[in-house]
Structure 1
């Protein structure tokens, strides 16, 4: 049985990836709001609930961006 060594933790582009995730999630919210115009009842409520979860995800992404940016500023290169 061969043992593979794990890949090193590369966080060097986490901030950029997280920013992309925020933009994609915002795009999903906007698309869902456009769809909501044609939705009624339970479907409309489901879209609203999903968008609320998306908003919370955006808040979490932004918090993580701040953490990653602070780590980068404090010298974490991501290749350690």
Structure 2
């Protein structure tokens, strides 16, 4: 039986703000793309898309709050 000396990776938060901003942009693009899809969707499909977009908008709010937290953390370093 081998024993590995594993160490956890250090917490590197340097690029978290940038990564979170990319996630927000990707989510916004998904919302925009869904508006195009809705033009051709049936009633039920439109409802599902609207529900998904509501969840996406909530995610964007959460991500933006996390960006603020990360930015404040970086300013203290």
Using the size of structure 2 for normalisation, the TM-score is 0.94
Give 3-state SS (helix, strand or coil) of 1:15's partner: helix
SS at 2:24 equivalent:
helix
**Which structure is higher in helix share?**
2
Structure 2 unaligned spans of 5+:
none
Corresponding position of 2:34: 32
RMSD: 0.7
Once the 2 structures are TM-superposed, how far is the Cα of residue 40 of structure 1 from its aligned partner?
1.4
State the alpha-carbon separation in 2 of the partners of residues 67 and 55 from structure 1.
Answer: 19
| 3-state SS of paired residue (1:59) | helix
TM-score, normalised relative to structure 1: 0.90
Unaligned runs of 5+ in 1: 76-80
Where relative contact order (Cα < 8 A, 6+ residues apart) is larger, the structure is 1
